[in-house]
């Protein structure tokens, strides 16, 4: 795999390699092809969805002498200039360069023409971190930049961007990448890296990425190091601390039956075996959601992407629990997610929440041995 992290090694180099953002990619490719380039763009969306990658590709493409289908050719003089040495593409991390002085430095340099390309491109990452004064200093330049300047602002927190800036940019909202697309990418990456992985393992990693390409590839790297290039579904569970379905099924049954003794025994076993109880609570909340989906949707596994054996286990349990209980469980455990992060005893919080579920649904506490 070399020394480069997987997400760096497999960062898209052209628009055709970007996954999950077809509408944005097509628009940017068309702008490169027609030469109708805007002067200020805002790329917003969750982390790891391709904002910075698209910004870099677009910056390279609009300065490329012979773009190929809207992407950089990587053959011309402009494309061959190493990223770190390319004076026409300036990358700024607003998390550490967020003062009004930092922005004034940029503004003062706008008058200088590009060295080689047609445009001087300023990519400002985490732009929401700029101070109000810094935004004000940037505003005039975004409103009326020189012809040769293009701004690309990237952020995960668009609600922190002043309206005055928002009204002057072309905005692209990057969406979370689907499990199917992440799975497809991971399979390609594993083949290219000489890593073997069970299909269920690949899907589990894709699910754990929660829509982020970068997170999915980072998780894949961690699991690969744990399993040493031959990844099973169990490896993914062990490496990520994902709760096994049997424990989730049992605690749900104990809650439904009001079997407090068994419930305490199970949570104690999980705790003494070193299980992260906050992670277990999160997995349990997801388990309730999965059961609800199975009970209310005909093609549930098209949504859940679970291994067949695990899906059948959940289906069997779902048929025996009514939706009113599941909805109540889901709400109660969703409500304690924030508390779990700061709780001194997550195990006790989980146990108390389970007891509340039993008491409030049954009208009285039914204690079974």
Domains and CATH numbers, the chain: 6-174 (3.40.50.300), 179-240 (1.10.8.60), 245-362 (1.20.272.10)
Residue 369 has pLDDT above 50, yes or no: no
Q: How far apart are CA 160 and CA 314, in angstroms?
A: 41
| Integer Cα distance of 120 and 86 in angstroms | 10
The answer to whether 172 and 27 have CB atoms below 8 angstroms apart is yes
pLDDT digits (tens, 9 = 90+) for 42-69: 999 999 999 999 999 999 999 999 999 9
pLDDT tens for each residue of 253-306: 999 998 999 999 999 999 998 888 888 999 999 999 999 999 999 999 888 888
**Structure confidence at residue 362 as a pLDDT band (50, 70, 90):** low
Mean pLDDT of 161-174: 94
Instruction: Look over the chain and give the mean of its residue pLDDT values, rounded to a whole number.
Output: 90
- Is pLDDT at 365 greater than 80 in this prediction? no
In whole angstroms, give the CA distance from residue 181 to residue 211: 9
* Backbone torsions φ then ψ of 197, nearest 5 degrees: -150, 135
Angle of helix 323-335 versus helix 346-362 axis, rounded to 10 = 150
- The band of 84, judged by pLDDT with boundaries at 50, 70 and 90, is low
Mean pLDDT of all residues in 310-320 = 93
23: its two tokens:
């509408």
């Amino acid at each position: 795999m070399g020394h480069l992290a997987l997400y760096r090694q497999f960062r898209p180099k052209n628009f055709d390699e970007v996954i999950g953002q077809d509408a944005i990619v097509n628009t940017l490719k068309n702008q490169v092809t027609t030469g109708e380039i805007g002067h200020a763009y805002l790329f917003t969306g969750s982390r790891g969805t391709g904002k910075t990658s698209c910004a870099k590709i677009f910056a390279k493409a609009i300065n490329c002498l012979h773009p190929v289908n809207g992407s950089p050719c990587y053959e011309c003089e402009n494309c061959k200039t190493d990223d770190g040495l390319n004076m026409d593409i300036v990358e700024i991390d607003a998390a550490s360069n967020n003062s009004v002085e930092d922005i004034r430095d940029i503004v003062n340099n706008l008058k200088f023409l590009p060295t080689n390309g047609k445009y001087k491109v300023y990519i400002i990452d985490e732009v929401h971190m700029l101070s109000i004064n810094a935004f004000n200093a940037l505003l005039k330049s975004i409103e009326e930049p020189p012809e040769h300047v293009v701004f690309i602002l990237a952020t995960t927190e668009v609600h922190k961007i002043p309206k005055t800036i928002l009204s002057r940019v072309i905005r692209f909202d990057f969406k979370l990448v689907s499990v199917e697309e992440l799975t497809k990418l991971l399979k390609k990456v594993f083949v290219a890296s000489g890593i073997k992985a069970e299909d269920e393992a690949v899907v589990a990693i894709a699910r754990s990425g929660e829509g982020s390409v970068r997170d999915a590839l980072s998780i894949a790297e961690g699991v690969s190091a744990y399993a040493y290039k031959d990844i099973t579904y169990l490896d993914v569970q062990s490496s990520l601390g994902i709760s096994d379905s049997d424990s989730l099924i049992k605690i749900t049954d104990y809650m439904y039956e009001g079997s407090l003794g068994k419930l305490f025994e199970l949570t104690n076993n999980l705790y003494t075996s070193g299980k992260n109880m906050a992670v277990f609570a999160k997995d349990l909340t997801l388990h309730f959601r999965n059961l609800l989906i199975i009970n209310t949707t005909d093609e549930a596994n098209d949504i859940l992407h679970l291994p067949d054996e695990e899906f059948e286990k959940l289906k069997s349990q779902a048929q025996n629990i009514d939706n009113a209980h599941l909805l109540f469980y889901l709400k109660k455990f969703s409500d304690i997610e924030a508390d779990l992060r700061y709780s001194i005893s997550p195990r006790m919080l989980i146990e108390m929440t389970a007891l509340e579920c039993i008491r409030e649904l049954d009208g009285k506490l039914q204690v079974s041995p």
